[in-house]
Amino acid sequence: LITLQGLPTVRFGIIPLGASLPAGVTHNFVMKDDTVTIELAHAEVTTQEPGDVRLYRTYLDVLWSRAAEGDDARALLARVATHAAH
């Protein structure tokens, strides 16, 4: 993970345990430009509807605001690795 987070084309963040999150989406989703692909238990839905894209972009912005990135993410990974070694 530390190697991946240093790649220039990858944005990598970790949401620490205990971080407060708003009522959240309970399924995976992927955003690329103005397209959202939503992975449900029984299907995959792709949408470009402006309201849907806005909803998921807002949620993604909240997640990124809670995520540790860069040096903070590396420090968090180092703490986890140290803890796992004991």
Domain boundaries, the chain: 2-13+23-85
- Residue 43: predicted pLDDT: 95
First to last CA, the chain: 20
Determine contact, residues 66/21, Cβ cutoff 8 Å. Answer: yes
Query: What's the one-letter identity of residue 69?
Result: E
Q: Which residue has the higher pLDDT, 39 or 4?
A: 39
Kindly list the distances between the CA atom of residue 72 and the CA atoms of 9, 19, 24, 26, 69, in Å, as whole numbers in the listed order.
Answer: 19, 14, 24, 26, 5
Residue in the block written with tokens 């993970």: 1
Question: Per residue in 4-13, pLDDT tens?
Answer: 877 888 888 9
Question: Per residue in 55-75, pLDDT tens?
Answer: 999 999 999 999 999 889 989
